[in-house]
Chain A
Amino acid sequence: MNKKIIKVPRLDQNIDSFDQWDRFISIVSPLFDKSIPIILDFSECGFIGPEGTALIAGLKIFRNDRGYITELDVTSVLSSVKVVLERSGLMGLFFPSESGWQPSHKDSTLPIFCLKSKDKDSAIEYIENQILIRKEVPHMTERLKKDIRVSFFEIFNNIFNHSESPIGGVVCGQVFPTDHTVKIVFYDTGIGVANKVLNHKTDLKSDVEAIEWALERGNSTLGETIGQPRGLGLYLIQEFIKINTGIFRISANSGALMEKDGKRSKGMLSLPLHGTIIDITIKTQEHLIYGYKDEFSYLRQ
């Protein structure tokens, strides 16, 4: 059977430019439902950040579950990128039986964690061992560790209560010791936040509007359906990231939104993303943490 070669584009670590992200999604997203065998060629990929890693991992798992062949041409991978793919565990996903290509736990990469089900204990183990007590992670206060745990579970709950993702969720990330930041990326291959909202709120006009609706306090498609209060998780994460002066980004279906430095930027993707990807960049400097200790924004109601 013919195999289709897909050239994976470069995706830098801190993508302030929307175009690079848009291009990456335009190439990767349409591959999810194509039954034809594909080979991922990394010869044009000079760098891949955790968002790209999460997306490729989700693609591989999604296609595997459907019996579609997805290969990685290891000869096409630049040595610097190969290191990243090894450390994140992406290489291990493509070559599970090859020893030496398992994720590393001794560097600044937060390895891929596949959440197949609502397994709280595995999630806690990942948060504690891979994020909070890594020696590469700058010292964090107990308060910040708690906020990271809570944020992780708010997104975790969002994936399992709303996304209808057939593969569950994929988590990975990166520590930036010199910048004193930690980036955590969550990806699910479900219906997508925007589609989910638009199915429920017919007065909204676009995927970006739908994402904005989902981020507001008290808004939840599930809450209105089952007649129970919901709709705080994403709102609370945003509030935490604002106070932390970090970055919150969400892309779902054709909508993308970023909150940074108190400003919200929005964009429409050229081709829809398969599912939802949320990434949070958290600052770990202690003076920032002390800054919000007594002024938690939930109180500013």
Chain B
Amino acid sequence: MQIYKIFDLCGPHCVSIEEGEKVRKIIVDNFNNGKTIELDFNGVQTLTSSFLNSAIGRLYGDFEKSKIENFLGVKGLDKSDEALMAIVIKNAIEFYAKDQRAREAARDVIKDLKEDN
């Protein structure tokens, strides 16, 4: 299993969407190659929701929850960052569930319109 040190990738303050995107790309590349990875947050002093939404939250739109749970490990988070990670994941799961429902509703409307014509 490959370990990625977030400190080495983004420094001690991981705050922006762009930095999160950098981490997400690494995760996606590994997932697509069937590789299991671990993110090591040791040394990171500041984590924001923007960073985590981008790095982790967006994965829930691209991969099954079970795949993320099985292929991605996380270590080195303190209690408050763990809590932040939990809320980012919860928010992402809710967001994509809503998004999926909206897509299904739109598909139904289009189907009805086609049938009417």
Contact = CB atoms under 8 A, between A and B. Distances in A.
A228 B57 contact: yes
A198 to B, nearest CB: 21
Contacts of A236: 49, 84, 87
B13 interface: yes
Interface stretch (A89-97, A152-160, A167-175, A272-280): A152-160
Contact of B83 (A118, A120, A228, A296): A296
Contact of A233 (B50, B58, B90, B96): B50
Main secondary structure of the interface of A (DSSP, over half): helix
User: B interface, by DSSP: helix, strand, loop or mixed?
Assistant: helix
Contact of B17 (A143, A157, A227, A298): A157
B42 interface: no
A161 B17 contact: yes
Interface of B: 13, 15-17, 45-50, 53-54, 57-58, 60-61, 79-80, 83-84, 86-88, 90-92, 94-96, 99
29 contacts: A120-B15, A146-B80, A149-B13, A149-B45, A149-B46, A153-B13, A153-B15, A153-B46, A153-B48, A157-B50, A161-B17, A217-B87, A217-B91, A218-B91, A218-B95, A228-B53, A228-B54, A229-B92, A229-B96, A232-B88, A233-B49, A233-B50, A236-B49, A236-B87, A294-B79, A298-B84, A298-B86, A299-B83, A301-B86
Interface size class of A (residues with CB under 8 A): 20 to 34
Interface in A228-248: 228-233, 236
A232 B49 contact: yes
